[in-house]
Amino acid sequence: MAPVTPAMAVVFALILVALVLFATEPVPVDVTAIAILVTLVLVDPISQGLADAGLLAEPLYILRGEGGPLSDALESGLSGFASTATITVLAMFILSDGVQRTGIIQRLGRRVAGITGDSEGRQLGATIGIVSPLSGFINNTAAVAILLPMVTDLAHRGKNSPSKLLLALSYASMFGGTLTLIGTSTNILASDLFGTLQGTGEGFSMFEFTQLGILVTIVGAAYLLTVGRWLTPARIRPETGLTDEFGMSEYLTEVVVRDDSPIVGQTVADALQETDLDIDIVQMIRGERTFMEPFGSKTIRAGDVFALRTDRDTLVELLDIDGLDSVPEAAVTDEELEAPSERHNLVEVVVAPGSELVRESLASTNFRQRYDATVLAIRRGDALFRQRMDDVTLRVGDTLLVQGPAESIDRLNSNPNFIVAQEVERPDFRESKTPVAIGIVAAVVLGAALTPVHIAAAALAGALGMVLSGCLKPAEIYDAVQWDVVFLLAGVIPLGIALERTGGAALIADLVVQSGTVLPAIGVLALLYVVTALLTNVISNNASVVLMIPVAYETAVQLGARPISFVLAVTFAASTAFMTPVGYQTNLFVYGPGGYRFTDYLRVGGPLQALLAVVTTLGIALFWGV
């Protein structure tokens, strides 16, 4: 076994730091990735300077390779931005958004709702049956974001718990992502790395592993419809409305302004909104008229009725100070909060990945003033915040119970910072462009599969076609891209290069190969799958691929096995993170809307992860050999 060199030691140290930062997320993962990139780019020139000054025995060769010029270090460090994987993923986000803006998926959802009725089993089957194939052709993260409102509404209409459907939605999207090269960014990155390691630049073809993806999807779907359905808890009880679902009965009340109240003549903002009391004004009712945000500038009159979100102790204090009376027998319901419009006024809103609200609070973002809407409660997994919410630091996947005028809900629905978990009518869907958008995606897939055109070129041409055809407006393409994923890819790709060039991947492969003395080659293959699966449940799936594919390739070479088999084991393991909500973005999407506990993912996803470890390993051996 080769000794650990100083260059290897530096790379291993950086990997350890990266793993800790990816797992704990004190800063966003894309920021961590860029910090790792900057560090890697600086190590070679700094070590060269120290060696020239006699302070270091010899310079480190991390990104430039043994004896290479310093310019190689910079070029390799920035290569992630020019990588075909990064460019392809960026283009695929644009293609997915072009399809989404036609509204075809929403129309499909409405047709499904008419077929499934109230049956939880049919709803579950329809959810899996739609998201799995869809995720093979548009980014599976986008597929879940689009379908989440449909599935939530499906559960509510059938008076079933959304918890029974949403976890399956996330898991089935991962199955679907393994069907084609473009199903997930992980596949595209793995293909690029595999091509680089082979020295040919040729990675996977469009349908290279589709037969294995179909096997995984069938077995996974069967599990979710049987054992998984039994193991998935109904964390959110099927209730008649969102206020019941969020347990708001003790936190919503109505008060009336007395004739002798000291706040008569003051504005709503001065009297009630800009106070230290923990209250939110939901509605202002004056005679036959009902007002919603913004109403801070309205002058209060005697007899005005306010619907409030507050707790009992604060209500007593408010009544004493401001000359208000509690309305007897007042119970604020969904129907009252939806008035006077027939359109949605009360919705669940999920904080999306890359949202500007992440690591911010309602107060720091001026949520009420910015969006003309009021947050009544926050759900994080199975935890509910219904008091002192202004200073709660928001995370990806947090679900906000939001009330506001229909126009505000429409703006939230079109804002990439949020996913509205109920279907909201979108008048801006470009339904006439549906055949064009589908045709463009089909052309990209078939062009990359049947012609010499590289997937990156085909995807970029498709993205351009979406704009030229009017499926997307030029300004919309920037909102379509998940830039945190793009910067994550650009940042972690150099880490894989450093692991390979310093010999670190070969050293780790040596250790893995030692297991070959007690395990057959297929056992080593299964070991790599399990290690990658455990890793990807804690850190980013793209980071897992970057770290593990060089190891898998080197292991196969040393064993005299088929490199493609070992690389596919890592690729599939990295694409199927079932055991934690943080392992995959789609798991975070459903965490709040499903009201799940962290342990629910281990309870349902653990057996599934073990099952697919066996199925994938045997499938690889069957289709490609070991």
Q: pLDDT, tens digit, for every residue of 452-478? A: 888 889 999 999 999 999 999 998 888
Confidence of residue 573 (pLDDT cuts 50, 70, 90): very high
Tell whether 194 and 130 lie within a shared domain: yes
493 and 586 fall within a common domain = yes
Q: Going edge to edge, which strands form the sheet with 305-309? A: 289-291, 280-286, 305-309, 252-257, 324-326
Tell me, what DSSP letter sits at residue 299?
B
Residue 276 tokens, joined: 């230290």
Residues 326, 260, single domain; the answer is yes
Choosing from 268, 298, 330, the residue where a domain stops is 330
What single string gives the DSSP state of each residue in 450-490? Answer: HSS--HHHHHHHHHHHHHHTTSS-TTHHHHHS-HHHHHHHH
Write out the residue range of the structural domain in which residue 27 sits. 6-74
Question: Is 184 a residue whose pLDDT tops 50?
Answer: yes
Residue 408 lies in a domain: yes
Whether 352 and 419 have beta carbons less than 8 Å apart is answered as: yes
Domain contains 559: yes
| Residues 10, 147 within the same domain | no
Q: What is the pLDDT of residues 156-175, one digit of tens each?
A: 877 888 999 999 999 999 99
Residue 267 scores a pLDDT above 60 = yes
Statement to judge: residues 361 and 296 lie in one domain:
no
Q: Is 219 found in the same domain as 268?
A: no
At residue 435, the pLDDT reads 92
466 and 383 in one domain? Answer: no
> Is residue 447 one of the residues assigned to a domain?
yes
Claim to verify: residue 592 and residue 443 sit in the same structural domain: yes
Residue 462 lies inside a defined structural domain of this protein: yes
Q: Could you tell me the pLDDT band of residue 342, with boundaries at 50, 70 and 90?
A: very low
pLDDT digits (tens, 9 = 90+) for 76-92: 888 889 888 899 989 98
* 427 found inside a domain: no
Q: What pLDDT score does 506 carry?
A: 84
**The domain boundary residue, chosen from 74, 102, 123:** 74
Residue 389 and residue 533 share a domain: no
Domain assignment present for residue 337? The answer is no
Closest CA to 116 of 165, 168, 163: 165
Query: Model confidence over 392-427: pLDDT tens digits?
Result: 889 888 888 888 887 888 888 878 888 887 766 665
> Which tops the pLDDT comparison, 4 or 181?
181
Closest CA to 282 of 292, 273, 272, 274: 292
Instruction: Give yes or no for residue 552 having a pLDDT over 80.
Output: yes
Q: What percent of the chain has pLDDT over 70?
A: 95
DSSP readout, 257-298?
E-TT-TTTTSBHIIIIISSSS--EEEEEEETTEEE-SS-TTS
Q: Which of 85-89, 215-219, 257-261 tops mean pLDDT?
A: 215-219
Give just the sign of the alpha carbon dihedral 583, 213, 171, 435: positive
CB-CB contact of 175 with 168 (8 Å): no
**Any domain includes 79:** no
Q: Residue 248's pLDDT band (boundaries 50, 70, 90)?
A: confident
**Whether residue 147 sits in one domain with residue 60:** no
- How far is residue 148's CA from residue 615's CA, in Å, rounded to a whole number? 28
**Judgement on whether residues 203 and 286 belong to the same structural domain of the protein:** no
Residue whose token pair is 């009420």: 368
Per-residue pLDDT, 384? 84
- pLDDT score for 540: 79
Is the pLDDT reported for residue 366 higher than 60? yes
Mean pLDDT of the chain: 85
Burial class (CB in 10 A: 0-12, 13-18, 19+), 199: exposed
Higher-pLDDT residue of 439, 56: 439
Residue 212: the pLDDT is 96
Do residues 418 and 371 lie in contact, with contact meaning Cβ atoms separated by under 8 Å?
no
Judge if pTM exceeds 0.85: no
Is a pLDDT exceeding 60 seen at residue 1? no
Last residue of a domain, one of 420, 448, 473: 420
One domain, residues 494 and 576? yes
Residue 23 lies in a domain: yes
Residue 352's domain is classified under what CATH number?
3.30.70.1450
Mean pLDDT on 569-597: 88
Domain tally, the chain: 4
Higher pLDDT pick, 221 / 55: 221
Residue 328: per-residue pLDDT: 65
